[in-house]
Structure 1
């Protein structure tokens, strides 16, 4: 039994027209799944539950040849940065699937052999080649930029006649995958580490701690000590997962936070600069312009 029907069984309801509506006694929202063909499928989840659930993973013993593209925080962008997690299926072979109380994701799974057949073997970057080979546990995160978000919005909101719906959604799913692979192809890594869940959890913990203190530039040795890793391994794993160095990633989010504070309008440019840990406001202005495209004063008036 596939996962959508297992979930419906848990709620004591049924799937209608590929869609499961969460009964009011359990929460609100919906889950819908589209199996376009043997090579590509998509699940849209947008719901709030009153409590966490756990269901058996029906695909735990199936051959692992799919690549998962998991779009997170795409329906409500007010709290967290929308991002895509890209992973080989060997990263997730758990016998159970946790169903969290609040989920807003789109999962697209694509057969790696199908994707591999679409590319010239000699032209692929090491990152793209390793992903498509799908022979080791890999995990990448890609921030969702506006043109990707537009495609996501079309998938979720576009009103399409039933006659064309499957065709339309498959094309949009493949467009998302193509654009994400184009971004991964730009990454410079030449050697990729096979990841394990412990290292992955550690890197995400370090990332969250760093983003919780945007007024304090990260010190690699301190982060490595907190991660119980060598500085070299920490820097390599971080760049492999996020596509940026630790400091570049930190600086990008620091400037996004500064832009958000300026848009709120309650703080002056100097207040925002000092709050973000800058002692030199000219330096703050230069860094802000590099990342946002205009000077802070100009941005606050736009």
Structure 2
């Protein structure tokens, strides 16, 4: 059985709040979770998480009147993507990023059933993208950029540096009132890394080294899925030996790959995400300090308080008495 759905308009979703897709995708068909961050400089970041019970064809008749550049990072599954009513078909492997101009085109994707799909994307108006090109490049590079990005879909590999910046954007909450300027800088950095990857001919590496690289890209996709799981479910029980078994790789390979992608150890990332989750719960005023600790994976309150103070410079109790920072678009 193949389901058909129309992709909802997510442009009006609230920044830093999960978009609830149940109004558009019934539970019996699948699930959509979406987190959005946006900047005053007109760049929007989306973190997509989708799953469908059966094969599903998802389409969008247009881009809601927008002419924009979309940079899409495919994290963990192979997908077929049709642009402009199938005039151009793009096959994306896990670990690939593509750049294209969506000039209010119709787009669609085919999703396999019983799989989780993860994407991250940067989107900006075409005018703003052209402004970036003219601001930083000479005329030859500007024309090259326009020929690459404004007329067809261009792909390259997601590098370790790109994965690291994606992770930093996802974890920006820890910078509190400085989050806006931090995320804005990281979005510009991520665009620079993608442009560098394409300008310097790394696009050809995808086809030339596909047989060699698919195993590596598969490992990276699995580690990114683990990273994503820790980010959104920090309280789960994570033990490196069991994680390595689940991912069919050695402990040394798993820990080495995780550190190379995200610049930190698995253990440290788990602790950081648990503390940041606890801080969010405490700031929300919906639970007390003890409950926030338990919901974040801590059973030893003394250890939790010590680690919390080390990270945030305040005890959990004093932190709970602080006025929550005003949330602004970055």
TM-score between both structures, scaled by the size of structure 2: 0.46
Which structure's relative contact order is higher, taking Cα pairs within 8 Å and 6+ residues apart? 2
Q: Which one has a larger percent strand, Structure 1 or Structure 2?
A: 2
